[in-house]
Amino acid sequence: MCKPVSLLNRKAKYLLEKDLKDKFHAQDIDEYCENLKNNSAGLHFKDGATRIETNSTSPEEWQDFSHENIENAERERMNSAQLRSNIDGILQSTSNDQRKQVDATNLAFSKRIHETLDTKGKLEDHLNKILGQIKEIEENISRLKKGIADKEAPLKLAHTRLDTRGGRPNVELCRDAVQYRLVEEVHELENSLAQLQSRLADTKNSLKGLTRNQLDVEDDIETKNNTLFIDEVECMGMRKSINIQQF
């Protein structure tokens, strides 16, 4: 398993700092030795001072050790720089993709909002037509009711006349032209009333259908208003409040 770059960098840093610390220490020792004189204080004999320490290194090993530390640190530095470059490229690509997705989503929202507004406008136009038809039908119902009321008085009159003439005595109870005309008038008025009442019933049924249609359209318009509030106010408002920065 590969070690994390940060761990390798810290290791290279540690080795460089340790090597540098040892060199400063060795330099201090050499400078001290260089400054020693025959009459310097602290001079002493040391048994085995001339022996070579078993853990000592040759000048070539000394140089190779520091050179390897430097090369290793430089290699890790280059790897880190390359990694940062790769990360920057990925972040830039991710940022560009994110920006494209944001723009595409905003465009989809705008298109959907426009479609909803257009449909809502058509529904409102249709509702206005329905309300106009309802008003017209209500006026027709009023006229039909008035027409029926206007027919009832003449019909009552004809019935009253026929009933009153039925009281004529004996031979005077004649099926004369007046009698036949009154009967004909009653039939005409009753047929006219029946037609008016039938038309009134049909008109009322039409009014009920239009009223149901009105409620359906109003409900659809309310749904479109809710959709617009969610898409245009809440969603788009939230999206506009979030500033998506380019990398």
Confidence of residue 103 (pLDDT cuts 50, 70, 90): confident
Which of residues 76 and 27 earns the better pLDDT score? Answer: 27
Half-sphere exposure of 90 (CA within 13 A, CB side): 6
pLDDT at 247 over 50: no
- Cβ-count burial 212-232 (b if 16+ within 10 Å, e if not): eebeebeeebeebeebeeebb
How far apart are the C-alpha atoms of 70 and 81, rounded to whole Å?
16
Integer-rounded Cα radius of gyration of the chain: 55
Query: For the residues 113-132, what does the mean pLDDT come to?
Result: 93
In this structure, the number of other CB atoms found within 10 A of the CB of residue 140 comes to 15
Residue 63's pLDDT is: 87
**Residue spans per domain, the chain:** 109-241
Dump pLDDT digits (tens) for 11-38: 888 888 888 898 899 899 888 888 888 8
| DSSP for residue 49 | T
Q: What is the pTM of this model?
A: 0.57
pLDDT at 160 over 50: yes
Query: For the residues 103-107, what does the mean pLDDT come to?
Result: 88
Dump pLDDT digits (tens) for 81-92: 888 888 888 888
Domain 109-241: which topology? Helix Hairpins (1.10.287)
How far apart are the C-alpha atoms of 203 and 43, rounded to whole Å?
132
Q: Which helix (H) or strand (E) holds 24?
A: helix 5-34
How far apart are the C-alpha atoms of 186 and 108, rounded to whole Å?
71
As given in the structure block, the two tokens for residue 17 are: 């700092």
